[in-house]
Amino acid sequence: MRGMSGRKKWIAPGIIAGLSALGIAVGGFYRAVDSSSRASAHTIILSADPACNPLGRACTARDATMAVALELPDPIKPLSPFPVQVQLAGERAATVESVAVSFAMTGMNMGFNRFDLRRQSAHTWRGEALLPVCSMGRRDWRATVDVAGEPAYVGEFHLVVGS
């Protein structure tokens, strides 16, 4: 009987340690898959001015060969669909295969929020998106525009919603 109670003392911590290790492994796999699907060796990262909030106006991230402009309506309300427009410019804009936008929060997992846009013209892509509700009350988002082509581009934008 005495040996059995000693074994019970180690079972709960062992289960907790095992589940923690599994959670860390799954989280690492998710981050690896997420970043590998977005950025390859041929992906060019473009960052917009952090002071530019694309609500009610266009903010642009650019380099010498591509400009990615993101425009969203003002206001945006969580759990309400809203239109998204992306304008592309530059020598590689007409060869783009697809465009998608996703939304995330720094340091907080907000789930999978990726929305494919439809080509309207050689340089204009539109679609609808939906922001989830942040249970912590945060309003700061990171909008990412994935532009598929060769090379691929990723436009990064800072977004603050609400008043």
The count of C-alpha atoms lying within 13 angstroms of the C-alpha of 130, restricted to the half-sphere facing its C-beta, is: 7
Q: Indicate if 71 and 34 belong to the same structural domain.
A: no
Q: Comparing 134 with 20, which gets the higher pLDDT?
A: 134
- How many C-beta atoms surround the C-beta of residue 148 within 10 A? 13
pTM for the structure as a whole: 0.74
| Residue from 26, 149, 7 nearest 90 by CA | 149
Q: Indicate if 78 and 96 belong to the same structural domain.
A: yes
Q: Indicate if 52 and 29 belong to the same structural domain.
A: no
- Whole-number Å distance between alpha carbons of 125 and 14: 52
Q: What share of the chain is helix, strand, coil (3-state, %, to 5)?
A: 25, 40, 35
Residue 76 pLDDT > 90? yes
Asked if 86 contacts 125 with a C-beta cutoff of 8 angstroms, the reply is: yes
Q: Indicate if 51 and 101 belong to the same structural domain.
A: yes
| Residues 6+ positions from 53 with CB-CB distance below 8 Å | 59, 158, 159, 160
- Whole-number Å distance between alpha carbons of 52 and 48: 7
Asked if 59 contacts 145 with a C-beta cutoff of 8 angstroms, the reply is: no
Q: How many domains does the chain have?
A: 2
Name residue, tokens 């000693």: 6
Here the CATH number for the domain that contains residue 63 is 2.60.40.1930
List pLDDT tens digits, range 107-162. 888 788 999 999 999 899 999 999 988 878 788 999 999 999 989 999 999 999 97
Q: Which amino acid is at 32?
A: A
Range of the domain at 6: 1-38
Q: Indicate if 28 and 57 belong to the same structural domain.
A: no
Q: Indicate if 56 and 111 belong to the same structural domain.
A: yes
Q: Indicate if 61 and 125 belong to the same structural domain.
A: yes
- Whole-number Å distance between alpha carbons of 152 and 100: 12
Residue 21 pLDDT > 60? no
Q: Indicate if 77 and 128 belong to the same structural domain.
A: yes
Q: Which residues pair with 116 in a beta bridge?
A: 100
Q: Indicate if 53 and 114 belong to the same structural domain.
A: yes
Q: Indicate if 28 and 74 belong to the same structural domain.
A: no
Q: Indicate if 114 and 151 belong to the same structural domain.
A: yes
- How many C-beta atoms surround the C-beta of residue 131 within 10 A? 21
